[in-house]
Structure 1
Amino acid sequence: MHSPTEADTCAEELRAALAAHGITLPSLGVDLPTFSARCPARPLIALGNCNVLTAQALTAALRKGAV
């Protein structure tokens, strides 16, 4: 089971890691309906939508990190 604090911390750590690569996903956050819909709670982190340039930057950062 994950607490709201753990989910928020995870989302903020992901936001910071993306920002270190110059990537911003404005709608990144905890998907609250998934947090309360399950027992035990397993909240999802919603990444949201992004434009093509952001998707390309995210792809490049992931590829670079995989090497």
Structure 2
Amino acid sequence: MEATERRRAAADRVRAAEDAVARLREGLAGCGLTLPSLRIDPVSCAADEPSPLVELGRCNVDTALRLCEVLTERQSGSGGRS
């Protein structure tokens, strides 16, 4: 693979990670959740051939409990907000 193709592939991986972060942020917002630190981990993008990681970040206890509640609702099939 030549350098131009490698750079294009790397840019595609970063764009895919950015899209995943945006979709995750939107999906969480639809469930009434916000993860303030949700982002792409910049260190994982620093290499010549980046392997971007999504940093879910830190959240307060209320948000963590709400996330647990949403996941439980999804697993039980109720899917709605209580």
TM-score class, shorter-chain normalisation, is 0.7 to 0.9
Please point out which of 13, 22, 28 is paired with 1:3: 13
Q: TM-score, normalised by structure 1?
A: 0.84
Q: How many residues align?
A: 66
Please point out which of 37, 41, 47 is paired with 2:56: 47
RMSD: 1.7
State the distance in 2 between where 1:17 and 1:47 align. Answer: 13
Q: What stretches of structure 1 of length at least 5 have no aligned partner?
A: none
State the distance in 1 between where 2:48 and 2:61 align. Answer: 33
Aligned partner of residue 48 in structure 1, secondary structure: coil
TM-aligned CA deviation for residue 64 of structure 1 = 1.2
Moved over 4 A (4+): none
Q: How does 1:1-67 map to 2 (within 5 A)?
A: 3-37=13-47, 39=49, 41-67=50-76
TM-aligned CA deviation for residue 42 of structure 1 = 2.1
Q: Which amino acid letter does the alignment assign opposite residue 65 of structure 1? A: R
Identity %: 36
Q: What stretches of structure 2 of length at least 5 have no aligned partner?
A: 1-8, 77-82
Q: Which is bigger in relative contact order (C-alpha 8 A, separation at least 6)?
A: 1
